[in-house]
Structure formats: structure tokens, C-alpha cells
Amino acid sequence: MAVDIREAHLDNGLMVLLAPVHNAPVVTFWVWYRVGSRNEVPGITGISHWCEHMMFKGTPTLGKGEIMHLINRNGGVDNAFTSADFTAYFESLPSDRIDLALRIESDRMMNTTFDPDEVASERTVIISEREGGENEPRYLLSEQVQAMAFMVHPYHHDTIGWKVDLETMTREDLYRHYKKYYAPNNAVVVVAGDFEPDEMLAKITDAFGKIPRGGEIPQMKSVEPPQEGERRARLVRPGPSACFHAMFHAPKASDPDFFPTFVLTGILSGVGGMSFSGGGSPGRSSRLYRALVETGLAVDVDCGFRGMLDPGTIDITSTVTPGGSIEKVEGAIFAELEKIASKPVTDTELAKVIKQAKSQFVYATDGVMNLGYWLGQWEIVSSYKMYAQFLDNLEKVTKADVTRVARKYFAEKNRTVGWFIPSNGNGKRAPVKNRARSKAK
């Protein structure tokens, strides 16, 4: 979606991005805060996600449940989500009702109450959410591998946090976190849709300009040191199937290696859905799918990679075919990684993945909600200007680039490997063939 983007800054530090699109009488209004699980320390892991929940519990002028009720009554939708790098809130409304979004977001930026009873109630909700994840073998395995892969950086823990912290955090912890990070000088407002930029900027200035600038935002200074050798996790507990997870340290979104790595993972498992709502191709013609699913070794396989503020990971996951061998799955995966790191990809593969990525990009930025999502996310992890540069950066990727980043990031010493092995009914380990480690580099 070609669109002119206007950038503005209020005196209190609030950044504003305006993207007028007059295709339909709809506007989406986003507020992005530069705070996520990346900004947490042991003892308060999961606090950013918990604060997100509390932002719907009311202010002195908006009672519990009133925010969603008002949005629904005015023909809109709203939601929020927390990641490692940010917390985001949005409302999409008919363009003549968008003032409601400004009222809600400016109010809860400074006036959310954090009622003690609501804090206690939400503790139960979030712990239940975490326990639901614990019932999924893939979740538990991912959490263990992530914790081993990051020994210093707070990407070490998942966004929802450790259960022991969720059980002990206080209302004062939450409120202190909110007051520290929910400030205009730590936020980005993104507006996309049917509006006039000058008029919208005046409205934003009126609604948010009176909010005092917050204190100095604490900077997260931890840097994950280079990994010096393979790490392994082995999880044995009841479950339906064996699962495999390999995590490789990877470039951050602003790194020149980001786009070659993006293309690399596309060749391995296809270019998945890039839109806010997800979706996309399962990559049935990709290398990993052909090597594992078509051969019957695995039920599924995926290679995931996304833009992060700090260096993140490439994640390769697979569910072993019932009765199959997790060793063979690992061996097949590592054989494909060796192959792509040692021999150039074909012209056809490169052209196909770039074409897929272009198509996904066009789909992902169709509609004002997706546009608001892309602009905000990219501004947090790199720069919103990456939106306009995305296709050009893809076109610049060469076969040599793909080989280079494959060799760099798929090195054996750069990986953390996890196995989930189902136990049988009497608690003993299910039989596993040939426990020897793969020699793949």
C-alpha cells in the first residue's frame, strides 16, 4: 500500500506517525509503548503482559469493561498484545468515531487505577493462561530451549513470565512498572485510514499534549555474549508425540544481515503470513518440508524468524511422526542446513522466495489495520522507514548473501537443541532409537 507517512513529535516526547488512506471511511489508532519482557528482571518477569491486562480494568472516568463496551457500541474493534520488545494497543473505528480512541488511549496512558481487587483477579487469569500453555509439549520445550539459548539477555524468558513471579508480584510492582514506562516519551502513536493529517495531529496534540513527560526511561543494557558451543535440553513427560526444537542466534531487525536471513528462512520453509492476522503458505515446496514431511519423518516442520530490537533467533521446530525417530528428524534437518550453508541456492529458489515475500508483503499491508501494525512494529524494532524500503531490500539479496548468512548463523556452536520425548503410561521413557548425537555442523 503506497502511502505518504507524516512524522511529528509533541513537546512531551510523544512520536506520531500519520498515514492517511481514503479507500474506506475507517481509521485505526495505535499506541505502541517501548516496553516488553525485554525490560524485565528476575522477580517481575511477565509484568509487562500483566500491565497490558490491567489497562482494560478502568480509570476514574472509564469503569471496568467500559472501554470494550464503548468501542463495540460504536461499530469498532479493539485489542492489545505484548511481546518481548513492545506493548501495543489499537482501536479501529468508523472515521467519524475515531475521537473515542483518542479519549480512551490518552486517559489510560496516565490514569489507569490498578485496583487491588482487579490485580488479584487478573493474577488468577494470567496464571491460568500460563498453565494452559504448560499443557502443550511444544510450549514447554520452547521455553526450555529459549532459557538455555539466552544466558544474559532478558529474551531468556517468555512474555508471560515465570509462574513463581506471577504468584508473588504485588500491586505496587505493577503500578511502579506502569508509571515508569507508560509515558508519552516512551510511546509511538500510529494513525492510518480516512482522516486529514493536520486535523488529526491537532486532535492528538489536544488529547495527549497535556500529559506530562515521564522520567528518564531505564535503558536495557544487557548484551548476550557469543555462544561458544552447542547446548542441549531434553524434556521427558507425558505427551502425544516427540518434538524437536533448534534455536540459532540471529541478527536483529536493523542489522544488514536481516534481509538475507529472511530470504534464507524462506527457502528453508516458505514465506509465512506477514500480516497482523497471520496466515500464509505452509511452504510445501520448501526444502525442509520436502526433506521431512514428504518423506514421512515428521508431521510438520517450520523455520521461524522475525525482526527483533536486539539479536533474536532462527527457530526450527518439528513434530515427529508417531512411532518415528527424533534422531532421524534432527539428522535430516541438520543435513539441510549443512547443504544450504555449503552450496549456493538456485536462481529459481531465490526468485521464488522473493516473489513469495513480495506477495505476502502486499497482502500484509492491505487494509489500514495491517498498515498501522507494520508501521508501529518496525518503528519499535528498527524504523518505520523500513516499510517503504522493504521490497527494495528484498531485491538486493543475492545467492552469495544467503550462503554467507547460512554459514554464519547455522554454525554448530551457535545452536541450542531441544528434544521433547513422551513418557509412557507408567512414567518410564518411551523407547528412543540410537541416542547418539548428530554430527551435523
* Buried b or exposed e, range 133-159, using 16+ CB within 10 angstroms: eeeebbebbbbbbbbbbbeebbbbbbb
Read off the pLDDT of residues 245-257 as tens digits, 9 standing for 90 and up: 999 999 999 999 9
Domains and CATH numbers, the chain: 6-208 (3.30.830.10), 231-422 (3.30.830.10)
111-120, 137-146, 249-258, 265-274: least confidently modelled range:
265-274
Distances (CA, A) of 92 to 85, 373, 377: 23, 12, 17
Read off the pLDDT of residues 257-315 as tens digits, 9 standing for 90 and up: 999 999 999 999 988 766 544 444 457 889 999 999 999 999 999 999 999 999 999 99
Residue among 26, 368, 11, 34 at smallest CA distance from 204? 11
Q: Decide if pLDDT at 161 tops 70.
A: yes
Q: How many beta carbons lie within 10 A of that of residue 200, not counting itself?
A: 22
Mean pLDDT for 66-81 is 97
C-alpha cell at 98: 475515531
Predicted local confidence at residue 387, as pLDDT: 92
Read off the pLDDT of residues 175-194 as tens digits, 9 standing for 90 and up: 999 999 999 999 999 999 99
